[in-house]
Amino acid sequence: MPTVQYDDAIVSFEAGPGLRDLVVGEGVANQELDHTLDQQIFHIRMANSQGRREAASLLLKKMYGWRGYSVDPNAIHALNKITLFAETGGQTVGTMSLCLDNDEIGLPADENFRDKLDELREQQRRLCEPSKLAIDKGVSKRVFAALIHISYIYARNIHGYTDYVIEVNPRHVMFYKRMLGFRDFGGERPCTRVGAPAVLLRLELEYMGEQIRQFGGLMEQQTTERSFYPYFFPTWDEPGITGRLIAGKT
């Protein structure tokens, strides 16, 4: 599937046919996009302006709010967080944030799993936490894969972080294990932020890099691999993406 480039995007790509069967987000499908998504070019950008942050926040409210989960509109501005979003045809269809652990500002998961995260910190592991992931219904699997891959490049290749940790609802645990290789780490506890149970999972970024090198870019080939890694970019796209992230062309 071709990858194209637009000057104001981290990366742009065309969605291929037959990729609309998986719904990562939950909510009401966008009927305006439903018949044209396979022909659209998607752009991944950083939410580094007020308008882009508002667009990402609106999608979060749409995808999380209908379940009764609260979304803090100011959380997107945290100093240790970047927010990526995907748009096509001028509409935001996907977003995720990546929180980077540091001595001054911890991670959202510290609220419920501080003791487990401290175990990793004592081992000199550098932690980051993907959060606030929302993908509109009817959107290509490749949008989800692109957001995760770019967050990996930012965390691992640019800043040298070693592990993803995530809090997920118990009903989503198998998805993250099967599709990305996350493993159990902290068990299930009540999540005070959303008033629902949460399970702490961990993924070593060294493992993710191995999967990207093995399967990235193979989505159009016949393969028995059922994870999301064939929908990631091929490794030869990583230097260009890395350079644009560093240069701030977002």
Three-state DSSP string of the chain: CCEECCCCCCEEEECCCCCCCCCCCCCCCCHHHHCCHHHCEEEEEECCCHHHHHHHHHHHHHHHHCCCCCCCCCHHHCCCEEEEEEEECCEEEEEEEEEECCCCCCCCCHHHHHHHHHHHHHCCCCEEEEEEEEECCCCCHHHHHHHHHHHHHHHHHHCCCCEEEEEECHHHHHHHHHHHCCEEEEEEEEECCCCEEEEEEEEEHHHHHHHHHHHCCCCCCCCCCCCCHHHCCCHHHHHHHHHHHHHCCC
Return the structure tokens found at 38. Answer: 């396979």
Return the structure tokens found at 39. Answer: 């022909």
Range of weakest confidence among 36-40, 110-114, 118-122: 36-40
| 137: pLDDT strictly greater than 70 | yes
State the pLDDT at residue 68.
Answer: 47
pLDDT bucket at 185, cuts 50 / 70 / 90: very high
CA of 27: how far to CAs of 2, 19, 34, 60, in Å?
29, 18, 14, 10
Mean pLDDT of 38-53: 68
Range of weakest confidence among 4-18, 85-99, 189-203: 4-18
Per the prediction, the chain carries an average pLDDT of 79
Rounded CA-CA distance 114/48 in Å is: 29
For residues 85-107, one letter each, b for 16 or more C-beta atoms within 10 angstroms of the residue's C-beta and e for the rest, the string is: bbbbeeebbbbbbbbbbeeeebb
Q: Amino acid identity of 19?
A: L
| 115: pLDDT strictly greater than 70 | yes
List Cβ<8 Å contacts ≥24 apart for 218-224: 219/1, 219/16, 219/142, 220/1, 220/16
State the pLDDT at residue 126.
Answer: 97
Q: Which residue has the higher pLDDT, 248 or 159?
A: 159
List pLDDT tens digits, range 195-229. Answer: 789 999 999 999 999 999 999 999 888 778 889 99
State the pLDDT at residue 48.
Answer: 61
Q: Which residue has the higher pLDDT, 194 or 109?
A: 109
| 66: pLDDT strictly greater than 60 | no
Mean pLDDT of 31-58: 58
Give residue 125's Cα distance to chain centre.
21
Return the structure tokens found at 102. Answer: 């540091």
pLDDT bucket at 18, cuts 50 / 70 / 90: very low
Rounded CA-CA distance 187/113 in Å is: 9
Give residue 47's Cα distance to chain centre.
13
Return the structure tokens found at 178. Answer: 């099967």
pLDDT bucket at 53, cuts 50 / 70 / 90: very low
State the pLDDT at residue 95.
Answer: 87
Rounded CA-CA distance 185/129 in Å is: 14
Mean pLDDT of 83-107: 88
What is the percent of the chain where pLDDT is above 70?
Answer: 74
Mean pLDDT of 100-111: 92
State the pLDDT at residue 32.
Answer: 43
